[in-house]
Chains A and B, each alone.
Chain A
């Protein structure tokens, strides 16, 4: 299994975080874990980009944070989507889909000439 290129495009990273948070209220560690598990370890989020991204999203009001208790009983900072975050996610998702579709079509074209 090859690891995908390390630097995810910034917008993509945020999309991944938003999507992950749309399933549950999570802390940073769990977000990274979930993305790794779901992508079968092809996507790995480095903490160096994860936390700044989280803080950026929080600053823009797309997600909000609160302190809670982790499964292990430790206090951790949990994030969840806000209303505008949800809206943003749907927008980004459809844009991504159309982008991926477009790229796919281009790559599938068959040479005629």
Chain B
């Protein structure tokens, strides 16, 4: 038997399953006691009265007269008040009832400390506001479910190269296999691209949209708001001339008229009847589809390459992993059965939301992390201010303690103050968030998915409330606990310059400064790296000059241009007409152009045969001779194409620099022969020129090297890209181009506005610019806050040490020595903070990788530069109070 323990502590821990119920009951009691105290009082009175009556009855039973018995009972009972008081005490320890007076008191206290309150609220508002704004974007884009019914069940299915994980075109054949064999889906739908000229109106327009399997909208859970959905019959050969319109197209071209269902559209010289209109928001993305037609499988040859997008709805009981493993099994089986089509290719099942936001979710998460740091710095700063303030309140707190306030009570009351500060800061923060939101969206990447859905919603506001409370407690708790530890005697006795939270308070203050400096350092490092990266991006040679290039797609429909001759005639005449227009320097037609779709294709070399299953992929461009005059891509070797490179002349190609370096290292590739077709009797093309490498998607992306062929010697796609180089200063050439094309064929649509390549090139940088802008703002604010924090702490310490400094000076210390004394302490804090910050930044900067361009996340130059910058700011923040310390007059100090 060990030590005897008496464990009759009331309220000692009692765990188990009863805890939750108990918590709940406790809360209910608290709640009730907040509002029903009067009822409780009367109940108590009744209860005590009952007891008194019972006592009276007992005396009566013992033979007393009733009146006498009552008196005797009352005598024994005494007055009721002490019981009442004792019982009330058992209800009262209630922070909820304390809260209101605490808050009232906090308001009074804070209105006495205006500048403290103002700085704190401002700091918190900046922290909370920016965090709320960034969270709203993150929430709207990445977290909020897509606007489809049960959208968590929706998946995108893609085929990727096993080695590179790059997407390969999905073919109808693959879709049909999955459609027949996959059991994970309640619905599996596919859609491909649709485009053509809409005629029968004054100016033909080019329609874009999707050919869809009839179940696509059902799979997505979307109902047309007008008319009907597609049925299986609509996809039968010969019956596919029906359109469902997107909401936007309906509004734009039919003015939202409900009788649109009686209309027909002339598309590719065929009549399509309109059978339905989709609700708003369905697939209304930039470059949005306007019309949907049923996919006629007999037309799209089963094995032909074509971009099929495949979406599925998982059965309720099926998880993503199960679906993925089923697809893996199917892929393995198919790779054995048809290796030519399936080997080396994996199937991936992505949740639809993840798939759509894959490019943006990690940059956004990174920004959210950055803004969280900013919030943290704001908290640290306010904690520091509170701590300094608390030390001036030692006396007040000591008096309260002396009057019987427990430590918990003091902490609660100080916390009420910080929660009040945080709440006011939160309110201003929300206002700030609403204020900066439009600006953020202005800067947001052009291609950011779900842009139109970004808003500050209930979730974001709830998040804001939570972080407000957390910050309130976060920055308030430490100082509150710290300052509730008071030494009554010393504090009350000499009050004025009390212990100041003592040694511990000083250490905490220094720790907070260190934290602030290191957090600011991390943000600054991010901003520095992004700045370097952005400079690199802007200085990147694209290999072409996107300024003044205007481009659009036009549609050479097969029924109008059935053979090569007719296509060539159109090309020649169109270019002739366009270049005849004023203000146009050069014009070209090509299979594609930078920022338009890439055709990747396998290449083989006559003198260096490649493995037919692993042909190197190159970007294929069929171009007219003036193409390089339009793009201003530099010729490095050999010659460019001329008008003499026709369909019947010797076959020639031009390759890009990287292709030349990679496959003809150290030798001139001129005169060598390569090809992009397969088969034994394939034609070989002689390399006649080498041109500069082109960054097809703009500076941030590296793509396959390029392979150019005269358009007259290449295949001519249905969609062909028309590009013109406008003379500087000339207006958008769309009108002139349209007029020229009309001369050649009035049924070919030209867009009302042409896309400007410089805009595309700029858009390619918006993600980087967005991250840089935000990081830049965050880090500047962070550095300012940190400087403010350093200044505050050093100034406070100087204040505390005035007497000591005075004595030192009286004993002969020079102002220089005093400055050195103050700076010495401060620079240790800053130095430690910077070291921690640099290590943190080095560890964390890898997270930036997705948005860094040709900069190592550990770039020494950046780190050196920001260290110096931060050190300068920090020293300045220290120097101001240090100089004031040096101006202390020893006479004044010693006299007091």
Interface residues of A (CB under 8 A from B): 9-12, 14-15, 27-29, 47-48, 51-52, 55-56, 58-61, 67, 70, 72, 74-77, 82-84, 87-88, 91-92, 95, 99, 102-103, 105
Contacts and interface: CB of A to CB of B under 8 A. Distances in A.
Given A59-B91, A61-B22, A87-B16, A48 B46 contact: no
Contact of B47 (A12, A77, A84, A99): A77
Contact of B90 (A29, A56, A91): A56
7 contacts: A29-B54, A29-B55, A51-B48, A55-B87, A77-B43, A77-B47, A95-B6
A87 B43 CA distance: 28
A14 B10 contact: yes
Most B C-beta atoms less than 10 A away, residue of A47, A59, A75, A83: A59
A15 B11 contact: no
A28 B18 contact: no
Contacts of A52: 83, 86-87, 89-90
B1 A29 contact: no
A77 B534 CA distance: 76
Contacts of B667: none
Nearest to A76: B50
A92 B77 CA distance: 30
B664 interface: no
Contacts of A74: 50, 53
B11 A60 contact: yes
Nearest to A83: B18
Nearest to B25: A61
A77 B46 contact: yes
Nearest to B7: A95
B380 to A, nearest CB: 39
Contacts of B46: 75, 77
B14 A95 contact: no
Contacts of B77: 47
Given A11-B9, A11-B10, A55-B44, 12 more contacts: A12-B8, A14-B10, A29-B54, A51-B44, A51-B48, A52-B86, A52-B87, A56-B10, A59-B90, A76-B47, A76-B50, A77-B46
Contact of A47 (B1, B51, B53): B51
B48 A59 contact: no
B403 interface: no
Contacts of A61: 22, 25-26, 29
B51 A28 contact: yes
A58 B26 CA distance: 9
Contacts of A105: 1
Given A28-B51, A76-B50, A91 B14 contact: yes
Contacts of B55: 29
Contact of B8 (A56, A76, A92): A92
A-B pairs with lowest CB-CB distance, top 5 = A11-B8, A52-B86, A84-B18, A29-B54, A55-B90
A51 B54 contact: no
B238 interface: no
Interface of B: 1, 4, 6-11, 14, 16, 18, 21-22, 25-26, 29, 43-44, 46-48, 50-51, 53-55, 57, 77-78, 82-83, 86-87, 89-91
A15 B22 CA distance: 19
Consensus secondary structure, chain B interface: helix
A72 B58 CA distance: 12
A9 B91 CA distance: 21
Nearest to B82: A48
Contacts of A91: 14
Nearest to B22: A61
B323 to A, nearest CB: 46
Nearest to B55: A29
A58 B44 CA distance: 13
Contacts of B26: 59-61
Contacts of B9: 11
A67 B91 CA distance: 19
Contact of B22 (A28, A29, A51, A84): A84
B11 A99 contact: no
Contacts of B22: 61, 84
Nearest to B30: A59
B8 A48 contact: no
A48 B86 contact: yes
A96 to B, nearest CB: 8
B816 to A, nearest CB: 66
A88 to B, nearest CB: 6
Contacts of B44: 51, 55
A20 to B, nearest CB: 15
A51 B50 contact: no
A70 B53 CA distance: 12
Contacts of A56: 10, 90
A67 B16 CA distance: 29
A24 B86 CA distance: 26
B29 A59 contact: yes
B74 to A, nearest CB: 12
Contacts of B90: 52, 55-56, 59
A70 B47 CA distance: 12
Given A48-B83, A74-B50, A76-B50, A10 B10 contact: yes
A28 B87 CA distance: 13
B6 A99 contact: yes
B87 A102 contact: no
A55 B85 CA distance: 12
A51 B14 contact: no
Contacts of B78: 48
A29 B51 CA distance: 6
